[in-house]
Amino acid sequence: MSVQISQRGKEYLESARTLVDAAKTMSDQVIADRLKALAEDYQRRAEKAAHADAAKALARSAARAEQERWAAEQWA
């Protein structure tokens, strides 16, 4: 199943890319490694955000469908 990246997820990914780019320019390997680790954390956060936001959208859609079904029954 493919999950659509939310705006929040996109922002996490952009931050991760920025951190990786900064790590590439570092001459201090310890700092570069820490930036890369932080970038990996932001990538995980982007994935979690995508899944959470998709679940919320699905729940809203299901609630809307239930409301429409209920309204249709009331008019029948």
* pLDDT tens-place string over residues 19-74: 999 999 999 999 999 999 999 999 999 888 888 888 888 898 999 999 999 988 88
Domain residues of the chain, as ranges?
7-75
Question: Residue 7 in contact with residue 49, Cβ under 8 Å?
Answer: no
Total residues found in the chain within this entry: 76
Helix 29-75 with 7-25: angle, nearest 10 deg: 170
Angle ∠(10,12,18) on CA atoms, nearest 5: 105
Does the structure show a pLDDT above 70 at 3? no
